[in-house]
Amino acid sequence: MILAVALCFGVSAPFAQRQGTAHARTTKAHAGNAGNTASDQAWWKDAVIDEIYPRSFADSNGDGIGDLNGITQHLDYLQALGIDAIWIAPMYPSPQVDFGYDISDYENIDPQYGTLADFDRLEAAARRRGVRIILDMVLNHTSDKHKWFIESASSRENPKADWYVWNSGIPANSPGVGEFQKKNVHEGLAPPNNWESFFGGSAWEWVPARKQFYYHKFYKQQPDLNWRNPAVEAAMIDVMKFWLRRGVAGFRLDAIPTLFEDSKLRDEPELGGSNDQGDPNLKEIYTANLPDVHDVLRRMRAMVEQFPGDRVLIGETYPPDTAALDAWYGGAAHDELQLPMDMLVGFGSGAAFSAAYFRRTLDAAETQLHGSQPLIVFDNHDNDRSIDRFGDGGHNVEIAKALATILFTSRDTAITYYGAELGMTTQTPKRKEDVRDPIGITGWPREKGRDGERTPMQWTPGPQAGFSSNPSTWLPLAPNYKTVNVETESADPNSLLNWYKQLIALRHQNPAMREGSMVLIDRDDPDVLAYIRITPDKSCVAVIAINMSPQTKTLRLGLGELGIKDTVVRTLAASDASLRSVTKLESVTLLPFASWVGEVK
């Protein structure tokens, strides 16, 4: 059950009106702020960003694979939902070993997704609707089919010989060479250390033409760039400028903590046991989160701020704690990433649908980031969907509504993922022969891959869920598409989709939700998470309370300490009919997992 009340000392516009005007602010902001620093009202500070996995969103040409024109065809839907920007997972030319995260050309579009002209049409059409485009930018590595790597691998003397991380290895009989390294011996030489690929096996791959190993943090087809070479940084900055000039609003920087490796090539400490790929568990202190990356980010931030319109850098970060997350912002200097992903709220240690868990993680984001804007993430293309991770099997939709309330009413920038607004579920393959994701093939059965969270978008109850005219879609449809889809849920006023629409409209139009600070209240309640949103001039206040237990709860939320004496409320939205007649804040009976939004009169 969820309670959200807004005090704005006036009559609020109905949600229908709010939805229709939600993008006036966004469209105007596209003209941009031509200064060299992001303004306090930068568009991304209260934005809702929707990650789109292009293979899975909409297929316009009937080949069973989503494409850019498919996204363009559904921009009206995204606008109506209230999306401010879409983050598009890689759509560059690629051998598709890692479904686009192995890039062979950074300045073009993979033919299966369309052309540069298609992208330009998408960007222009989105701009007209007040929807910005954010691109995934993979800086850590390229494809092994990229022209840079092909040249680099050809010899030790070519102009790009030092653009990747190469090493001659060590004699296989050297003292200290472990059994893991001995599995990868070539011409009597073993890799220089015990570093592992995230996707299994040694992180070093032998190239006979050079008689050397190259380093790959991920698949062997994804060689790591050598960011200690200034020419590499200059080339990648030029790539980013290519797209910034084409109108993109910023970048989500993939795997940014892995940009640098230990120059001494020291072994990672072993932790004991084995991972899902059957390799030794290692503590990654020499292949991730090295301090060198922060110098690069400061230079990158200065570069994007030369472009008008408050361009933004989002970072894929999995910090162990909030102090580590703060470093990605640049701490008190605020001069690195504007929005490193706070994965601690949605994916942190001990993540559970409980008031204690969310109170702890939200409080840390509010109080330990030097005032920086949190970026909360519950869903993405690499993890089981949140409705499955947090759901109890009996109240999954109600719990999904609660998660949406946290996402859209917290002081944060909100990232959602295509289909989350419908309650799309994770479809984990049941047989190894059905797996498309290589990590699921190599790690089966302990690791089943990421296909489950990447299934096609569910638009209609018709054939192929309206995703494609081709019955052979690149991944099979979820069997629940006949009820969990845009068409069906649009017609149901109580659907998860319509709850998303209402919350996003409230977020955009209510001053407290848009620009208010956030303070947790009733910190000792074991079942209810509650917090205040309040504008700087205290003219608009919102109170959000979430019951995270299956028991009915009666709330007595006292706001007197804030100087707020009003207790009369009117309902704006409620998931249960019994809550629609609520008129008093001082005693609200909230059913298990019910959701209610009201306004103090």
Q: Map residue 592 onto helix, strand or coil.
A: coil
The bridge status of strand 413-417 relative to strand 375-377 is: parallel
- Residue 430's CB is within 10 A of a number of other CB atoms, namely 9
What are the residue ranges of helices labelled H in 355-462?
355-367, 386-390, 396-409, 438-443
**């309206």: which residue's tokens?**
466
Per the structure block, which two tokens stand in for 174? 């050297």
- Helix H segments across 189-291? 230-245
Residue 491 CA to residue 241 CA, distance in Å, equals 43
Omega before residue 257 within 30° of 0, cis: no
Q: What is the DSSP letter of 533?
A: E
Rounded to whole angstroms, how far apart are CA atoms 503 and 597?
Answer: 9
Distance CA 501, CA 586 (A): 28
At 263, give phi and psi (nearest 5°).
-70, -20
Report the side by side order of strands in the sheet with 528-534.
517-521, 528-534, 541-547, 2-7, 595-600, 569-574
Let me know: does 18 contact 507? Beta carbons within 8 Å.
no
SS3 for 398? Answer: helix
The neighbouring-strand residues paired with 377 are 415
Coil/strand/helix, residue 529: strand
Which token pair is 72?
Answer: 């363009």
Secondary structure of residue 468 in the 3-state scheme: coil
Nearest Cα residue to 129 out of 251, 26, 42:
26
CB 381 within 8 A of CB 420: no
Give the span between the Cα atoms of 186 and 194, in whole angstroms. Answer: 15
DSSP 51: E
Closest CA to 243 of 91, 26, 30, 94: 91
The catalytic residue positions are: 254, 316
Lookup result for tokens 């990650």: 51
3-state secondary structure of 568: strand
DSSP classification of residue 112: T
**CB neighbours of residue 155 within 10 Å:** 10
For 136, the 3-state DSSP assignment is strand
